[in-house]
Chains A and B, each alone.
Chain A
Amino acid sequence: SQKIEQNSEALNIQEGKTATLTCNYTNYSPAYLQWYRQDPGRGPVFLLLIRENEKEKRKERLKVTFDTTLKQSLFHITASQPADSATYLCAPNRDDKIIFGKGTRLHILP
């Protein structure tokens, strides 16, 4: 069955450093992959979408890569700030089905 894996452990990063989150998937060939941010008590908020024919996508301090050979996406936050602390969900999808990973909690330490 299709499986999405994100770091289950929380990630602690010092302010100013680059945070890198990993999303791996198996038994799946997504046409595109989305990343969402979720704060406690709130719904997810869309951040970025990358298509299977794109290697990299950037938006301000965010960068996403998509390696269909490795079946992996990496999500980078450069010059991280305490306000970046949240849970980040990856969501690979194809056709009419979207599957969310369980998310990685990121803590940016001041």
Chain B
Amino acid sequence: DAGVIQSPRHEVTEMGQEVTLRCKPISGHNSLFWYRQTMMRGLELLIYFNNNVPIDDSGMPEDRFSAKMPNASFSTLKIQPSEPRDSAVYFCASSLMGGPPKDTQYFGPGTRLTVL
């Protein structure tokens, strides 16, 4: 299995631009999680989906952030417009059975986002 796939691995953009991060979960997993990691705040859960349905988006920082999961094999996290404080590493993770994160989560390699 290829594991969780994220793209791009690195993204550098200018303030005000739209940024789209992509994730392909492990085949057969039915839950998907988006996290953001910074030195100051550590790893924060932004949103998670169960069977393609958003269950908890209370971690999404503000309306500039949105996430979709149109099918079981693809999800996007969009930031529009981007700001320098959005600079971080964004991780996608998936799990089987999922829902409550007590199940083992498999993380992707992350996307390092830099907003200038």
Contacts and interface: CB of A to CB of B under 8 A. Distances in A.
Bin the interface of chain B by size. Answer: 20 to 34
B99 interface: yes
Interface string B29-53: 0000001000000111100100000
Q: DSSP majority for the B interface?
A: strand
Contact of B104 (A46, A93, A97): A46
B69 interface: no
Interface in A40-87: 41-46, 49
A33 to B, nearest CB: 10
Nearest to A42: B109
A36 to B, nearest CB: 8
B108 interface: yes
A31 interface: yes
A106 B106 CA distance: 22
B90 to A, nearest CB: 10
Contacts of A89: 42-43
B77 to A, nearest CB: 15
B100 to A, nearest CB: 5
B105 interface: yes
Contacts of B48: 96
Contact of B42 (A31, A42, A97, A100): A100
Contacts of A100: 35, 42-45
Contact of A49 (B55, B91, B104): B104
